[in-house]
Chain A
């Protein structure tokens, strides 16, 4: 994606005479030579590793009787050792892709081992605990090798834990401490991401926390919880994006994600408050709060952070339309409502064009300075 855009832009600049053609070619060559760029071959290798590990897991699930189970257990342990050491050898020889794929196989074999022991002793009601142990083992592999691929596996396992806890409430309700494990796992994944530089895997952790918070709200919906979500989101967003905040440099270093997710959390919180609101006055007050938050997000982080900006626009437009529908919709009838919506959207468009224009001017000034 980025590679394609880069090449197109280079052609454009070369055509305009802004960039010598030789430099453009050298820059592209440098980009292609980077270790971390997307390579179809590597992705396919890791996919192959995932398929192979699925076959190991399914072999365990089949409870295959041709081998005595002690032999099967020894076999799985041998796979764990074998994949780790083969991964180490690949890593030593500089075959990064093969090492990543083999380490994924090693982490998955550990999961197969846990499943096999569970099967041997007919353990029941412990699927979530088993995934927790699996997560811990995968973290050891990811940390020891600083492996990006295994860190991603850990992110996936954290999600698997959350979904298992959700789906496993056969007896009564979910035990409370299990729900608190979820954000702890997300924190562990973020730490792993920082240690291994697995940039993209961090989204798994952030999304996990968002999903968890939304689920918590669904389970205990109350005004206080909605207020806490909104307040917590605003505080987190200000910490990440407000100039002068001590956490801002750290958040900026982590890319656009901290500002974006805290902003999304604040918006979700205020949207939930809107949902809790009854009566015209509170409804409008909650709506005004959502609009303010959307504008605050655009003002504070919109200039550097496209994701925050577009989420802000979307929230602002959606909230205005919702308010118009709630307050004027019943009075005006359908055609009148569309008239008002049309005017509103036109007004929003005018606002967005003004904001984008201002952002562009400030950027130009920065360049000319």
Chain B
């Protein structure tokens, strides 16, 4: 646990510090900007959350969010299912419903083209196994918007609202199908609005 660097360093330490700090800052900056750009330019959809199992879901400082569109019934998959197990990504077409929330109207294992009235969101990659029974079962997918971080101790309120089905989430989705939470509301009243930075 010691550095004998002083004898055999190959970069002047100040240069080394500069390189490491610049690269690490650039990495953080890239992470921030890739997300902020979705918030800036993405198309907005309103999603309804559904209660997950009733046990205490607050792990530390975030609330687990599950959506109507997290469970995709087999009827939605018009293009059929892969025959063999594979690493899959699911594309889901979201359309606005009469109640103002957005729901899944079509899903596919291949990319879907967005239209004026619909947005296509892409799931995170997962391992797909064809179901053994005749009728395929619903597929559970994640979109990378399943967590909402809150200040320490404030998660309880959101959890109760979520379990009472009073929680809605505004999400922005970019052209590539990446989703980003913009706002979270209880009974339609925004509680947390996410600034760009």
Complex Cα gap A136–B26 (Å):
12
Q: Does A69 contact B (CB under 8 A)?
A: yes
A88 CA to B24 CA, complexed, in Å? 16
A81 at the interface (CB under 8 A from B): yes
Chain A residues with CB below 8 A from B24, complex form: 80, 110, 113, 137, 140-141
Contact of A124 among B23, B125, B146 (CB under 8 A): B146
Which residues of A (2-58) have their CB < 8 Å from a CB of B? 35-39, 42-43, 46
Q: A36-B2, A96-B6 are in contact. Are A77 and B124 (CB under 8 A)?
A: no
Chain B: minimal CB distance from A75 (Å): 12
List residues of B (138-197) whose CB comes within 8 Å of A's CBs: 140-142, 144-152, 180-181, 194-195, 197
Q: How far is the CA of A100 from the CA of B1 in the complex (A)?
A: 8
- Asked if B127 and A88 sit within 8 Å, CB to CB, the answer is no
The residues of B that contact A133 with a CB separation of less than 8 Å are: 27, 31
Chain B, 10-28, contact with A by CB distance < 8 Å: what is the 0/1 string? Answer: 1111111111110111011
A80 close to B8 (CB less than 8 A): no
Contact A88 B17 (CB under 8 A): yes
Whether a CB of chain A sits under 8 angstroms from the CB of B128 is: yes
Contact A146 B35 (CB under 8 A): no
Q: From A37, A124, A141, A149, give the contact of B147 (CB < 8 A).
A: A124
- Listed stretches A59-67, A206-214, A237-245, A305-313; interface member: A59-67
Contact residue among B3, B23, B180 (Cβ-Cβ distance under 8 Å from A148): B3
Given A36-B4, A69-B197, A145-B16, verify A117-B35 contact (CB < 8 Å).
Answer: yes
Asked whether B20 lies within 8 Å of A144 as measured between CB atoms, the reply is: yes
**28 examples of A-B residue contacts, CB within 8 angstroms:** A42-B1, A42-B2, A61-B61, A62-B61, A63-B61, A64-B151, A65-B151, A73-B32, A80-B24, A84-B18, A92-B14, A113-B28, A114-B31, A122-B149, A123-B35, A124-B142, A124-B145, A126-B144, A137-B24, A140-B20, A140-B24, A144-B20, A145-B9, A145-B17, A145-B20, A148-B4, A171-B141, A172-B126
A residues engaging B (CB < 8 A)? 35-39, 42-43, 46, 61-65, 69-70, 73, 76-77, 80-81, 84-85, 87-89, 91-92, 94, 96-97, 99-100, 106, 110, 113-114, 117, 119-126, 133, 136-137, 140-141, 144-149, 152, 170-177, 197
List residues of B whose CB falls within 8 A of some A CB. Answer: 1-21, 23-25, 27-28, 31-32, 35-36, 60-62, 87, 124-129, 140-142, 144-152, 180-181, 194-195, 197
